[in-house]
A and B are shown apart, each in its own frame.
Chain A
Amino acid sequence: MPEPMLRIHNLNGWYGPSHVLQDISLEVHQGEIVCLIGRNGAGKTTTLKTIMGLLDRRSGSVTFKGEEILASPAHVRFARGLAYVPEERRIVQGLSVRENLRLGLVASKAKHEETRRVEEIARIFPRLAERLEQDAVTMSGGEQQMLAIARAMIARPDLVMLDEPSEGIMPVLVDEMFELFRRMKSQGTTILLVEQNVELALAIADRAYVLDQGMVVHEASAQALLADDEIKERYCSV
């Protein structure tokens, strides 16, 4: 098997005195969709944040495309091809949809082809195409989520981490979004997905890790996990 694109080994993290990540180890290979599932507070979001470099107190190892990045600041990780869509979406107030998209390119080598990239991403996200000049925060939650994903994708990262993309979004849009993830995968993007909607997530994922109390408690192919009612019951029921 080739070297994984993202390899996390014995990752530990702390929020103040609480030890929120305990020896997390996981791998994501080129072209895969890998899903992190588990209850609220299991450490899924913290794992993504730590991979992106947003948690101050951490130890262990995070290698991305063969390079150790645990000590690198977030902007350097982005430059290496790692993108992150936080749970709160973080659409910037007072900026138009187009400006939010441009923000995804300011640090990228593709900055000079800004206009072309915005057009290209607008074709993939037709809902945004109609609203390019609109103030981004006036859009619906689902559209803002689409924008957050588009903004993270516009620089064409190798791996994108998505935190709860379906949260608080109309079912119609959720289906549209998951269809989009399938297409992103078919075009070569690797995805690490945190999702409460387990059935939906496992339907598009290749593999999944189950987290509980800051630890990886189970690892399986998505298909096997879909059929494993006991695990789902024990770790994922709300």
Chain B
Amino acid sequence: MSGLSFDLIALQLFTGLALGAIYVLFAIGLSLIFGMLTVVNFAHGAFYMVGAYAGLFLVSMGGNFWICLVGVPLLVGTFGMIVERFLVRPLYGRGIDYPLLLTFGLSYIMIELIRIAFGTSGYPFDTPELLQGAVDIGVGYFPLYRLFVIGATAVVLIGLWLFLERTSFGLVIRAGARDPQIVRVLGVDVSRVWLIVFGIGTAIAGFAGLLAAPLQGVIPEMGATILAEAFVVTVVGGMGSIGGAVLAGLLVGVVVSMSSLFAPEMAKVSIFALMAIVLLIRPQGFFGRAGLMS
């Protein structure tokens, strides 16, 4: 273990937090959609990927990264709402496997369409000029862009929390996730709420894809990997729990980055080992309710 200083470990921890931030964004959308609509959105990775490509597209049209930060969630969220309205909605009330299979198939179609439109090989995505370079964070120099990713995630989380806790629409979402029928009886058009929740969830996925683009480039398959990892996050954090998604997302990010430092050959399996341990000790995850799927 010689050569591994405290500073190096601390820096790797921050790298893990930046990676975890992307997982968090991805997983809260997944959790929000599952918690409210009981839809396991297998196309979430594809929405994430579309977010990165939407960013590429906006930049090629002359936009910059800052425009993308607003434009990409809007585009992907709108697309998500169209998908909910015309593809997912007809399947409500038929059991959890119907929307699961639909979104599973949809993700393949989305990936194939992107391959047709943009080609099968990947693209680099330039880090915005303002965020290039590194800053001293006390334990060493850390890439400024990764710090930005952590900050942007914090902003989205705080915004989402305020929206859910402080607005009446947020109240409807919290209540509707527990008991859609009483919300309907109190005058709320629940199908409209579901539409908007699906839009918000997919918009955040698109935003996460855009944030990830400068870190790892843009390829049509980028959503598949993170989807598998995000399911680990949701299982560890507890299905349908936003707090759980945040905690587990950061934890998974740190586990990935630490294991790639100490035992690079273990990096890929380490999170699944983590999931196995959590499932053995606490099958419902950190904050999940037992028996949600039964």
Instruction: Please report A residues at the B interface, Cβ cutoff 8 Å.
Output: 52, 54, 73-75, 78-79, 83-84, 86, 90, 92-95, 99, 102-108, 111, 114, 151-152, 155
Contact = CB atoms under 8 A, between A and B. Distances in A.
A77 to B, nearest CB: 9
Interface of B: 168-169, 171-172, 174-175, 178-179, 181-190
Given A99-B171, A111-B168, A104 B186 contact: yes
14 contacts: A52-B185, A74-B184, A75-B190, A78-B186, A78-B187, A79-B187, A86-B185, A90-B181, A94-B178, A95-B175, A102-B171, A106-B171, A107-B188, A152-B186
A114 B188 CA distance: 16
B172 A78 contact: no
A78 B175 contact: no
A93 B178 contact: yes
A151 B187 contact: no
A61 B171 CA distance: 34
Contacts of A105: 168
**Looking at B172, B182, B183, which has the most chain A CB atoms within 10 Å of its CB?**
B182
Contacts of B168: 102, 105-106, 111, 114
Contact of B172 (A54, A106, A155): A106
Contacts of A152: 186
Contacts of A93: 178-179
A14 to B, nearest CB: 17
A103 B186 contact: yes
Given A52-B185, A95-B175, 13 more contacts: A54-B181, A54-B185, A84-B185, A86-B182, A86-B185, A90-B181, A92-B178, A92-B179, A99-B175, A106-B172, A106-B186, A107-B186, A111-B168
B190 A103 contact: no
Nearest to B190: A75
Of the listed residues B171, B183, B187, the one surrounded by the most CB atoms of chain A closer than 10 A to its CB is: B187
A118 to B, nearest CB: 12
A100 B264 CA distance: 51
A79 B179 CA distance: 19
Nearest to B184: A74
B174 A95 contact: yes
B16 to A, nearest CB: 31
Contact of A75 (B171, B174, B179, B184): B184
B179 to A, nearest CB: 6
A103 B175 contact: yes
Contact of B186 (A54, A73, A99, A151): A151
A95 B178 CA distance: 10
Residue picked from A79, A104, A106, most chain B C-beta under 10 Å? A106
Contacts of A95: 171, 174-175
